[in-house]
Amino acid sequence: MREATVGRELVAILENRVGVLAAIARLLSEQGINILALAVMVHDDRAELHLVPDAPSYALDALRKAEFEVEERDVVLVELPHRAGFLRRITEVLARQGLDIHYLYASAFEAGHSSLVVFSCSNNGKAVQLLREK
């Protein structure tokens, strides 16, 4: 298994309107900030954005200056080989230790060799330790 680390995620609750994600993407790209992972969930008229940038503190500053309400959270970042069964392996390790996954999102490109898994659980530090041992 590849390295597991604790990373920083930015979470914003936004008005669900056409173009808000484009505005955030533009803002971050103009600052030279790369988005490593992104998940958006819509709840009626609100959108919840989870964003893992390559420069969390700069992204946080840029979003707050643009008057977006944003909070920082610790998450676990795991790069895995893009092959069947690896997500199963990490989730089984966590389940055996009684760690509750609060949310998880991942991405992989079909032709790629790795995937990025982002999650938060009941004890992120313990999750990283367990995954580094495997």
Q: Which pLDDT tens digits describe the chain residue by residue (134 residues)?
A: 468 999 999 999 999 999 999 999 999 999 999 999 999 999 999 999 999 999 999 999 999 999 999 999 999 999 887 777 888 988 999 999 999 999 999 988 776 678 889 999 999 999 999 998 86
Range list for CATH 3.30.2130.10 in the chain: 9-72, 75-133
What lies within 8 Å, CB to CB, of 117 at 6+ separation is 76, 77, 78, 79, 80, 87, 90, 104, 105, 106
**In the CATH hierarchy, which fold is given to the domain comprising 75-133?**
VC0802-like (3.30.2130)
Question: What CATH number belongs to 9-72?
Answer: 3.30.2130.10
- Predicted structure pTM score: 0.87
